[in-house]
Amino acid sequence: MKVVVVDDDKLVGVSLKTILEASGEVQVVGIGCSGQDAIDLYRHHKPDILLMDIRMSSMSGLDAAEIILASDPAARILFLTTFSDDEYIIRALKMGARGYILKQNYESIVPSLKAVYNGQSVFGDDIVSRIPDMLQKNRKPDFSKYGISEKEAEIIALVAEGMNNKEIASALYLSEGTVRNYLSVILEKLQLRDRTQLAVFYYKNQ
Amino acid sequence: MKVVVVDDDKLVGVSLKTILEASGEVQVVGIGCSGQDAIDLYRHHKPDILLMDIRMSSMSGLDAAEIILASDPAARILFLTTFSDDEYIIRALKMGARGYILKQNYESIVPSLKAVYNGQSVFGDDIVSRIPDMLQKNRKPDFSKYGISEKEAEIIALVAEGMNNKEIASALYLSEGTVRNYLSVILEKLQLRDRTQLAVFYYKNQ
DNA sequence: GATTTCAGATGACAATTGTCACATTCTTAT
DNA sequence: ATAAGAATGTGACAATTGTCATCTGAAATC
């Protein structure tokens, strides 16, 4: 498995070469320290995988990846990051990168490379754990932590469907006044001002 | 690395045991062929990873995973599938599974297991390529098709943040009355009744 | 130059909304 | 049996909201 490593910090590049080659299954055919290096090394060596830092002083890893993927959409690019920065990761995903690994997590680098080599994509749990939330459009949020009762939650859900008090009342077989009272309590508990903020809260916490 | 393997087809379970243990790094401590087996084996052996088929005749792997994850959210569950079925995969993601591997792809099983063991999550490229689209949803919706102008869209966005008319007016340097007029037009264009429905509409079309 | 268009504003109005204080049940625990 | 509590309801009130007809001034169009 031929790999090109690109990291802003040259020392990291060399260390990685040592670590990776110690596995006996990876051959580091090039080490670079800028986005431009990444492009040049990739085009010259055509490695199986390009392992690259996201943040680099000269050209960002993302920009480099964009250029590489534009000319070779099959390029397997795996990012190395220090922190999992949402914005970056999502941009990386969009452009078709194969994942990212936290630098701290040395032991997982070789297995991750192999998984990518075999056509998988690899991500840290922190990102993956957020994906479901992003995908999930129709689930009811859990408001119990705010001391919201079952009935109150029902009303919240109806407000979040755009119903007015009269409609909610008739849907739940309550008087309109009761619905108002409930709503008043709900707003107090959630520290919100009006039903629109409640709907917003609902969807932002969905 | 202790692994429990569960597959509808007993032969697959045994074959996997052979393949996995040949690597010298995996110890298959249990083989099952139903969702119930998965639950029992998981609770008994507390393996590092549960490798499980999604489709099984008696209890689906997803149902079993749900039960296991309910009592042990840290459980590392990796699904084996024959085809990458969107619905299933997304449900698996939602409940916190660590990924899935196509059965055909024998070579990638061991590396994927190791990546998961090291805290990563692993997915086939087909799913990953769809995630960006799903994530894309967190951007401002495009209302132009409803004949909504730039300014109107601004107001919609502020309503969707929960602002009242006075706040919107001061944010956009308009009079409150103007904001009301805008809103009135917006509601007319979108065939909605009030600002709450507008906020709801915003998030549903996000 | 006259006219139309458009963004913004005003004021009036009714409807809806949120708040509050106070009833009325009905259940439950003491 | 009584007190406490919920769940539900009422009426009054002010604030916010949505609608509408109308006005202004500037820019664009003719």
Domain end marker among A134, A157, A184: A134
A76: in domain: yes
Same domain, B26 and B56: yes
Mean per-residue pLDDT, B14-27: 92
- pLDDT tens-digit map of B53-109: 988 887 888 899 989 988 888 899 999 887 666 667 777 877 778 888 878 777 888
3-state secondary structure B94-105: HHCCCEEEECCC
CA of B100 to C1' of D1 (A): 65
pLDDT of residue B125: 65
Chain C: bases < 7 Å from a protein Cβ: 7-12, 16-21
Domain end marker among B110, B135, B160: B135
Same domain, B178 and B112: no
- Provide the CATH number for the domain around residue B71: 3.40.50.2300
Give CA–CA dist B61/A67, Å, rounded: 41
* Host domain of residue B192: 144-204
A107: in domain: yes
* The pLDDT of residue A181 is above 80: yes
CB contact under 8 A, A120 and B122: yes
Same domain, B129 and B159: no
Amino acid at A46: K
A33: in domain: yes
- pLDDT tens-digit map of A135-180: 554 456 777 777 888 888 889 999 999 998 899 999 888 888 999 9
Residue of B nearest to A134 (CA): B135
Question: How many contacts does A have with B, using Cβ atoms within 8 A?
Answer: 152
Give CA–CA dist B200/B203, Å, rounded: 5
**Pairwise pLDDT comparison (B141 vs B175), residue with the higher score:** B175
**CA nearest A186: which of A177, A175, A198?**
A198
pLDDT of residue B52: 93
Same domain, A20 and A122: yes
CB contact under 8 A, B118 and A96: no
Name the β-bridge partners of B27: B2
A93: in domain: yes
- Provide the CATH number for the domain around residue B176: 1.10.10.10
Domain end marker among B135, B154, B180: B135
**CA nearest B51: which of B106, B101, B124, B121?**
B101
Q: What is the mean pLDDT of chain B?
A: 85
CB-strand contact A177/D, under 7 Å: yes
A106: in domain: yes
A158: in domain: yes
- At A22, list the tokens: 């110690």
Residue of A nearest to B161 (CA): A200
Residues of A in contact with B121 (CB under 8 A): 122-125, 128
CB contact under 8 A, A119 and B108: yes
- pLDDT tens-digit map of A6-15: 998 899 899 9
SS3 B85: coil
Name the β-bridge partners of B195: none
pLDDT of residue A130: 59
Same domain, B42 and B130: yes
CB contact under 8 A, B135 and A132: no
Same domain, A16 and A92: yes
Same domain, B37 and B72: yes
Same domain, A130 and A152: no
CA of A166 to C1' of D2 (A): 38
Residue of A nearest to B92 (CA): A132
| DSSP 8-state class, residue A99 | B
Q: What is the residue whose two structure tokens read 């243990």?
A: B21
A139: in domain: no
- pLDDT tens-digit map of A15-43: 999 999 998 999 999 999 999 999 999 99
| DSSP 8-state class, residue A129 | T
Give CA–CA dist A7/A22, Å, rounded: 19
Of A125-129, A165-169, A200-204, which gets the smallest average pLDDT? Answer: A125-129
CB contact under 8 A, B121 and A124: yes
Top residue of A109, A122, A167 to mutate, by most chain B CBs within 10 Å, is: A122
Same domain, A6 and A77: yes
**CA nearest A183: which of A170, A173, A196, A171?**
A196
pLDDT of residue B94: 73
* The pLDDT of residue B138 is above 60: no
Distance between start and end Cα atoms, chain A: 43
**A2 class by beta-carbon count within 10 Å (0-12 exposed, 13-18 middle, 19+ buried):** middle
A10: in domain: yes
Same domain, B181 and B103: no
How many domains does chain A fold into? 2
Same domain, A77 and A123: yes
- pLDDT tens-digit map of A53-105: 988 887 888 889 989 988 888 899 999 887 666 667 767 777 778 888 877 77
Give CA–CA dist B147/B144, Å, rounded: 5
Residues of A in contact with B92 (CB under 8 A): none
CB-strand contact B183/D, under 7 Å: yes
* The pLDDT of residue A195 is above 70: yes
Same domain, A85 and A180: no
